[in-house]
Structure 1
Amino acid sequence: MSMFKPSMLTLALVAAGVSSYSSYAAEEQAQKEDEKAVEVIEVKGFRASVVESINTKRFSTEVVESISAEDIGKLPDSSIAESIARLPGLTAQRLDGRASRVSIRGFGENESATMFNGREQVSISDNRGVEFDLYPSEIMSAVTVYKTPSASLEAEGIAGVINMQTIKPLSVDERALQFNGQVEETSFDKLNPDGNKRGYRGTISYIDKFADDTIGIAFAYTSMSSPNQEKRWNAWGYPEFEAGGKNYSILGGAKPFVRSSTLERDSVMFVLEAAPSDKLSMVFDALYVDFKDEKILRGIEIPFAWGQGQIPAEYATVDDATGFITSAATIGQRVVVRNDYEDRKADLKSFGFNTKYDIDDQWRVEFDASYSKVEREVWSLESYSGTGRGDGRGEADNIAYAFNGSNAGAQFGHNLDYSDYNLIKIGGPLSWGWSSALNEKYGVVGTEYENQLQDGFINAPTVDDELKSLKLAAKKTIESDFVNAVEFGVSYRDREKTKVSEGYFMTVSSFSYPDNPGMLTVPEKYRLGTANLDFIGMGNMIAYDSRQMVADGMFGLLAESLTNPSHATKSWSVSEEVTAAFVQANIDAEVAGFPVKGNAGLRYVRTQQASDGNAFGVVAGKVQLSPTHIEHDYSHLLPSLNLSMTLDDTQTLRFGAAKTISRPRLDEMNASINAKYNLTPDSNGNYWEVEGGNPTLEPKEAIGVDLTYENYFSPEGYFSVAVFNKNLTNWIFDGNYAIDMTGVADPSTGEVPPNSQGTGKGKVNGGGGTLWGYELSLALPFNLFHESLEGFGLIASHTKVKSDIQDHKGDDYQLPGLSDTIQSLTVYYERNGFQARTSMRKRDDFKGEVYGLGFNTDQVDIVGETIWDAQVGYDFSEGGIDSLKGLTVTFQVQNITEEPFTSLSGDNALQVRDYQDYGRTYLLGFSYKY
């Protein structure tokens, strides 16, 4: 077994109090005399977290990136996702102005796994990808991102695994009681009269040890009310047409609005750790999160080419290079004035228990059990108003638009006053979203008001996600020249995720036919004044409390699922039972005189999945359902190898190779299908014709190779160069598949037909290709250049990713989440209590997922962005002001350059799909530690 003697630099790291160096404890003890000769390097605050993160990376067996908090509640960013997105090779997609979905090396969030204290987590989304704004950064002590796996890692993901960690109280030197508080404000004035521009964040935490340091507890409670505001330009689309032998495109319509949202989150974290003897340790942790995201949205939907008005050719301006009509006018147009509200709630509960027991000097056993559950409810309300009910009624407007050549969308001109409550009344001004059941309910079948009764709509999907897991493992120490220990174990995970989709048509309660078929003047008690839409040139519009009107019974509701089969497609339950076994050899050897550490392992994973849903059809205008239950199983052998060669005191060479998998999206695996039974077979000999989910989907697979050179030239500094390659197979695309419909009734007859084989249309496995790239990362303290620069430093990274992937038909395919280049930069100064830093994260264009109609996830082309944040602060303890010892004050500015979120419709940069301007966010905070 190799015995590598620590250098003076290594001993300096130990003196700095770096806990991640604990694996070298024996060697440290042997070098006590050398330690006395080393000048103690003591850094605190942000610099301490940099040192901690560097050493987690340096002494990890796998290829990892890490962020660390000096104290609980003191991660460098206010959002856990923003902190993660600054790591080399990682980036984030913003959702409603907040970093939420994390990509690793060009893969979207569905290709990575997320753990909390080493255990896989549920998610509030429809799929597996975790939205990180659910997790408060205030309760995290560290986050580690595994870019290469080991066999003992209890999660699977082609991109990597993200492990969020809470503090362990027995590792803390002394009792701590800490209070953190922040006030928050957006740079926009209130965009809606009932919105918020100010909010707060607060945390109280307590850490202590008892019984001769054998029992420790950590408790944290955090509460947040965070405002966010947005000016949004959104296009319906850009229809193409031919005229005079040339191809043209024009604005089909637009849906601009202003949004005021408030994210409210209350979280409780509790950790109990016990070590009654040197042989036994136990940790229990619990997390509860109460999450509510409330959005107020007001705007005007403006039909154009897809509207009622006439478009005179003489008012149109054409971009000759693209054929895109950059400005035009429509005469006699009617619009929809929107007063919308959305409420997204989620409750997360997570519990875990871990115990380790050293039987003797050679054997250790471990048992781990966990449970996590999330329940999510969405209530998304749309309320319509205009000048008259249905097509062709009410006063029309003349509207013009002009694109200014940027990505900010178009400016409109208009004639009507949309802030006039006597002109703009509640009711559906356009005939859309009709239902035969709605016509029957109000008795308008065959009348002039048929299909004109949708005055609003409510989307109300729910998601429940539950995960239980058990693990039993053992580790045996071995005296060998190559291997110092062998680990092996088994684990079991049981996960079930259920989604129920529903929607409701809204019709004003005052409507009756033929007595009162008109629209409703907004009652005085619900009027809130106006919302300003000057940013798109539409002036002021009426603002009323639509949610309170629904609560007071001012609208009649009718379930859309009666006649619209889409809700049956989007309602499903998927369960997975994952049984795994692993064996891993921990390597400690010497090759050609160089110490080599690492691990080699094999993981066997067997998955049994099942889905319950509905086979459905539409008979006489009504949806007919028949339950479905489809099962499937598969297994994988996943080998992995991680090697780390220490070239000298500062240089390390790493190699990693592994086979990894990413499980299919849960909504793609559902058993809800539009089903039709034919009396004659198709070309495949099948009688059933179905379209929907595919419960027989199997995971995507990849074989990855990583090679990294690392140079740790200072306790606060290092640079590394990494190259990586992943060979992807068994990806998932649209196609046809075989499906067994045994026991499923024909929706049109209600009877089970004699033939059960079907041809399905949906997602299938196939295709593949290669993804490769490189990463450059640097942490540089400026005191290396001159002692007068003590406290200055920078952290930077650059990642380049390329891919060559084809679908199952051989067509080129771009991975969701892949940006060709990603950069991050943080410049900081911290000394004598003063703290300052500015950070940048930049990514190129990419394909990302956004919520579309009915809360479907749609893939769109998103424009690259560069986001700058800054923070200054002062720690009175470090500044030597004893009367204020323990107090730190900070001031942050997020999104300094007001970088928008922009997506396009196709390759034409003029055809803006979505432009979201969030402005800046200011945070003034304090921390007091007793």
Structure 2
Amino acid sequence: MTRFGKTESNTASTGAFAVTPIAAACALLLWSAAVHAQAQEQAQPGEETPAQVVVTGIRGSIESSIAIKKESDSIVEAITAEDIGKLPDVSIAESIARLPGLTAQRVAGRAQVISLRGLAPDFGVTLLNGREQTSTSNDRSAEFDQYPSELLSGVTVYKTPDANMTAAGLSGTIDLRTVRPLDRKGRTIAFNVRGEHNGNGELNSGWSTRGKRLSVSYIDQYLNNTLGLAIGYAHLDSPGQQKEYKSWWWGDQNNLPAGNEDVVALKGAEVTSTSRKQVRDGLMAVIDWKPGREVRSTLDLYYSRFDQEEIMRGMMWNSHQWSAVTYRNPQIETIGGVRLLTGGSLVNLEPIVRNDYNERRDEMAAAGWNTKVRLNQRWTADGDLSWSSAKRRETTSETYAGLGPAGSGVTDNDFQFRIPVGAGLPQFTPSIDFTNPGIIKLTDVGGWGHDATMHHPRVEDRLGAAKLHLRGELDGFFRDVQAGLSYSKRDKSHEDVSQTYWLKNDRALSTVPANIIQPTTSLSWAGIPGVLSFDPRAALDQFYDKRPVDTDVAQQDWAVTEKQSIGYLRLGIDTDLGPVPLRGNLGVQYVHVDQQAEGKAVSGNVITPLRDGHSYHDVLPSLNLNFDLGNYLHDTYLRLGAAKTVARPRMSDMRAGVSAGVDATTRMWNGNGGNPQLEPWRANSFDLSLEHYLGKGSYLSAAYFFKDLKSYIYNQQLPFDFTGFPNSSAVLPLTNIGTINQPANGQGGFVRGIELTAALQFGMLWERLDGFGVQASASGTESSISPNGPGTTEKLPGLSGVVANLTVFYEKHGFSARVAQRYRSAFRGEVTGLFAQRAFSEILAEKQVDIQLGYEFQDGPYKNLSFLLQVNNLGNEPYQTKQGSAFASGAYAPERYTTYGRQVLFGVNYKL
């Protein structure tokens, strides 16, 4: 049982292996490549070996990535840049999402967070040059749009842990890498410039559809190649244009004529047009010093600032049974045995006109200093110091306008609607001109008790770490021994000031003056001709008074400190098991964590500081084995991985904040809040991978993974000692022992899946196809975990049953072309909910297609000059979610339908 302030000492499987066109393409590719491999192995020896050719561009990137995968002891995936500043996608998240078993979730149209092997982003760890990074999110998961792809030389994803990795995730570890200047030859200066256009058009007046990107990188070596310097700068100015429909909820209690009590109807909705301006500046610097063979010292510096501002304008309305809304000419259709209200007219509707302005600034900085010293012929030592910082400052504001205050009787009595039961957008047609400033007034149309709101979420995250590592070479079964110690301290805090506003003059109905009115925002794509548009910032300054700060969100103000100490021992394996060469590693970590959390105890309007903490330890063994089966099948490897892995809890779940009170009827304490006593998710992980290489640029692999989670964190109703907790009511409790709903470690389950991958350059099949190639992967994942506890049926967050990627490319004689498709089946995704808090939504399957065309001059006066045309989201693939409603027996009604527009970029690259 937990006390206030201190501590006293079902298997629901998600089907995953559905067949998709991409999966079928993968299977066909695997078959054709296997046939070719067999033919190659049966060919007669003695053919003359061709001269070595240095391959660059797309094919060079693929070959480098495959080499990293092939040479690693662990099971890894890799991406390398085609050239300095030229990773293959606009976003590093999009590049990562093309790797087998990985996928991205779109946020505001951008691929932002990554799920590894069906587990949510919280289960992974993101590194920069091997060092754990802080995050601007409310928890630990990295937001990858903070990292300009132009400043990265590659990415390695570790699917199995290694004992010398002191920051590793339960689902996997993503390591972003910057260039090492002493590993390159000669001076390189590269320039990249791109113009951008958004295909959704200018949705709000004055918010451009055009943007630009530019980057410059410089690499050079000095003092007889003992000192290297790399500097990079990347600037992004990207427009965002978003059309969105969102339903609020559905139900069968409606003000319909008798006999229709079972009809399910929409209870409220919103239609909005949002325009964004996104500006990011990134800086990278590397100083690399190697005065001799005995010493190498490298300093990494990184900084990124991302500013975003947006305007959202639209209309929303309530049509639930507690309002006076009725229906005229209701159209009812039976779908999947459920009677749905799909059309008609709403009567007595009070639509709300929204003009909202939001702005956000994210800043990230990181520094790392590594020095490696060769002590003698067999022993080396290296020390690493690192620091990472992330900050977010956000302001979200809402203003409301309409025909009159809630319940005033001024309504739209012929608001027509038509809701498709299949794909497509609903259509709404008001009977009143909602662009007319003579009838649309500033007021509390929704009856929410305030006339405007403003929130100021703030996040700060700091992480400092030190690591000492020793490596000694051995003879015999073990090729080397590695040992080390590391210590890190992380401080993260979150706060939100929630401010409400009332209109001046005792909340008097106010007309929007002409000097702040702006051109009408059209919502015609959803049937609404338009809404009154004005400057919401000017309106807040001119017409509203601030109210007392809202205490309802006080328990969301928290701070967490984590101190982590790790010791590890690792033995590298290099031997022969009869005719089978074997390499790999065997190791163990001891991890000790001391965590402290601060928060607020909230009872009515009484707020009291709260602090609590916990410590725990883990012993984490790991094994990676790589069997070279070349004596049986040329260039074939069987990899095995087994490890105990952990993922530290979400920091927002670890908050000490609690909101509670005494029930007047039962006279018992009851509350909800965070849990500073949380321990990690823990799992035993097993991996098997079979890889067959067909040359530098081609390979086949099949992998199986199984993660047995010993516990999962979900909200539970638990006993709690409220002794000392502030009681703002006049009701005296019968006892101080009550109940609290809070996150806690509970029952776990398994996550398992298969991954099929193929990369093939067609020139090895037929000489006339030289330059053409394909990369394909498909993975199927399923889980028995009930993320909300035993007996619940929700899907595991982040788990898509099927994830698939297909890329077809051509590169020869300076010409290049790439067509890529990314597919992700439906999943339960984490989204930002009310008041910027964590929420979940059922996100439907997505299939996004991107194309890229380019030409590079390979000789003459324009050598190293190249042109590039990219079209991302070619089909303007919608982001769709569905209701977790009572009519899930076959009827389809969208919760959210959002389009972000086709993104077209044209650019020029030049390298000196």
TM > 0.5 fold call: yes
The equivalent of 2:37 in structure 1 is none
The answer to whether the 8 A contact 1:118-1:154 is kept is: no
| 1:513-912 → structure 2 map (5 Å cutoff) | 513=506, 517-550=507-540, 552-561=541-550, 564-565=551-552, 567-618=553-604, 623-648=605-630, 649-676=634-661, 689-739=670-720, 745-747=726-728, 759-806=739-786, 808-876=789-857, 878=858, 880=859, 882-906=860-884, 907=888, 909-912=891-894
The equivalent of 2:455 in structure 1 is 459
Counterpart secondary structure, 2:87: coil
| 1:445-456 → structure 2 map (5 Å cutoff) | 454-456=450-452
Report how far residue 253 of structure 1 moved: 0.6
The equivalent of 1:512 in structure 2 is 505
Letter in 2 for 1:582: Y
Distance 1:813 1:382, change over 3 A: closer
1:194-215 CA deviation, whole Å, 9 max, x = no partner?
2120000010111111011111
Counterpart secondary structure, 1:788: helix
Match of 2:248 among 211, 233, 236: 236
| 1:147-546 → structure 2 map (5 Å cutoff) | 147-241=159-253, 244=259, 247-305=262-320, 308-312=323-327, 314-320=329-335, 321-432=337-448, 434=449, 454-480=450-476, 482-508=477-503, 511-513=504-506, 517-546=507-536
Looking at structure 2, the residues matched to 456 and 44 of structure 1 have their Cα atoms a distance apart, in angstroms, of: 57
The answer to whether the 8 A contact 1:534-1:540 is kept is: yes
Distance 1:492 1:504, change over 3 A: same
Distance 1:172 1:553, change over 3 A: farther
Looking at structure 2, the residues matched to 307 and 924 of structure 1 have their Cα atoms a distance apart, in angstroms, of: 53
Looking at structure 1, the residues matched to 735 and 460 of structure 2 have their Cα atoms a distance apart, in angstroms, of: 35
The answer to whether the 8 A contact 1:503-1:559 is kept is: no
1:171-195 CA deviation, whole Å, 9 max, x = no partner?
1111011111110001122000021
The equivalent of 2:24 in structure 1 is none
The answer to whether the 8 A contact 1:387-1:393 is kept is: no
Letter in 1 for 2:673: G
RMSD value, Cα: 2.3
Letter in 2 for 1:676: G
Looking at structure 2, the residues matched to 811 and 418 of structure 1 have their Cα atoms a distance apart, in angstroms, of: 44
The equivalent of 1:26 in structure 2 is none
The answer to whether the 8 A contact 1:628-1:744 is kept is: no
Looking at structure 1, the residues matched to 231 and 220 of structure 2 have their Cα atoms a distance apart, in angstroms, of: 9
Letter in 2 for 1:518: A
Q: Which stretch has the larger CA shift, 740-749 or 63-72? A: 740-749
Report how far residue 332 of structure 1 moved: 1.9
Counterpart secondary structure, 2:505: coil
Counterpart secondary structure, 1:150: coil
Letter in 1 for 2:544: F
Looking at structure 1, the residues matched to 443 and 208 of structure 2 have their Cα atoms a distance apart, in angstroms, of: 28
Looking at structure 2, the residues matched to 541 and 312 of structure 1 have their Cα atoms a distance apart, in angstroms, of: 23
The answer to whether the 8 A contact 1:798-1:822 is kept is: yes
Report how far residue 903 of structure 1 moved: 0.4
Distance 1:898 1:739, change over 3 A: same
Counterpart secondary structure, 1:58: helix
Report how far residue 919 of structure 1 moved: 2.1
The equivalent of 1:41 in structure 2 is 53
Looking at structure 2, the residues matched to 492 and 757 of structure 1 have their Cα atoms a distance apart, in angstroms, of: 39
Looking at structure 1, the residues matched to 127 and 48 of structure 2 have their Cα atoms a distance apart, in angstroms, of: 40
Looking at structure 2, the residues matched to 650 and 500 of structure 1 have their Cα atoms a distance apart, in angstroms, of: 55
1:85-131 CA deviation, whole Å, 9 max, x = no partner?
00001111100111111111111111111111101111111111111
The answer to whether the 8 A contact 2:580-2:627 is kept is: yes
Looking at structure 2, the residues matched to 698 and 813 of structure 1 have their Cα atoms a distance apart, in angstroms, of: 23
Counterpart secondary structure, 2:150: helix
Report how far residue 308 of structure 1 moved: 3.8
Looking at structure 1, the residues matched to 569 and 669 of structure 2 have their Cα atoms a distance apart, in angstroms, of: 45
The equivalent of 2:125 in structure 1 is 113
Looking at structure 2, the residues matched to 171 and 182 of structure 1 have their Cα atoms a distance apart, in angstroms, of: 28
Looking at structure 2, the residues matched to 924 and 867 of structure 1 have their Cα atoms a distance apart, in angstroms, of: 20
1:438-485 CA deviation, whole Å, 9 max, x = no partner?
xxxxxxxxxxxxxxxx222112111111111111111111111x1010
Report how far residue 377 of structure 1 moved: 1.1
Counterpart secondary structure, 1:232: strand
Looking at structure 2, the residues matched to 787 and 710 of structure 1 have their Cα atoms a distance apart, in angstroms, of: 25
Match of 2:895 among 887, 895, 913: 913
Letter in 1 for 2:597: S
Distance 1:812 1:636, change over 3 A: farther
Looking at structure 2, the residues matched to 312 and 679 of structure 1 have their Cα atoms a distance apart, in angstroms, of: 40
Distance 1:395 1:769, change over 3 A: closer
The answer to whether the 8 A contact 2:302-2:365 is kept is: yes
Letter in 2 for 1:512: N
The answer to whether the 8 A contact 2:420-2:893 is kept is: no
1:205-250 CA deviation, whole Å, 9 max, x = no partner?
1111101111101101111111121110011111233874963321
Name stretches of at least 5 consecutive residues in structure 1 with no aligned partner: 1-33, 435-453
The answer to whether the 8 A contact 2:328-2:346 is kept is: no
Report how far residue 328 of structure 1 moved: 3.2
Letter in 2 for 1:691: N
1:477-514 CA deviation, whole Å, 9 max, x = no partner?
1111x101010111111111111112111233xx214x
Counterpart secondary structure, 2:376: coil
1:757-776 CA deviation, whole Å, 9 max, x = no partner?
66432111111111111110
Report how far residue 311 of structure 1 moved: 2.0
The answer to whether the 8 A contact 1:393-1:429 is kept is: no
Report how far residue 728 of structure 1 moved: 1.2
Name stretches of at least 5 consecutive residues in structure 2 with no aligned partner: 1-45
Report how far residue 678 of structure 1 moved: 8.8
Looking at structure 2, the residues matched to 240 and 309 of structure 1 have their Cα atoms a distance apart, in angstroms, of: 16
1:359-398 CA deviation, whole Å, 9 max, x = no partner?
0011111111111111101111111111223321545342
The answer to whether the 8 A contact 1:625-1:747 is kept is: no
Distance 1:746 1:334, change over 3 A: closer
Report how far residue 427 of structure 1 moved: 2.2
Looking at structure 2, the residues matched to 364 and 770 of structure 1 have their Cα atoms a distance apart, in angstroms, of: 40
Distance 1:307 1:333, change over 3 A: farther
Report how far residue 897 of structure 1 moved: 1.1
1:663-696 CA deviation, whole Å, 9 max, x = no partner?
11111111100133699999xxxx8643111111
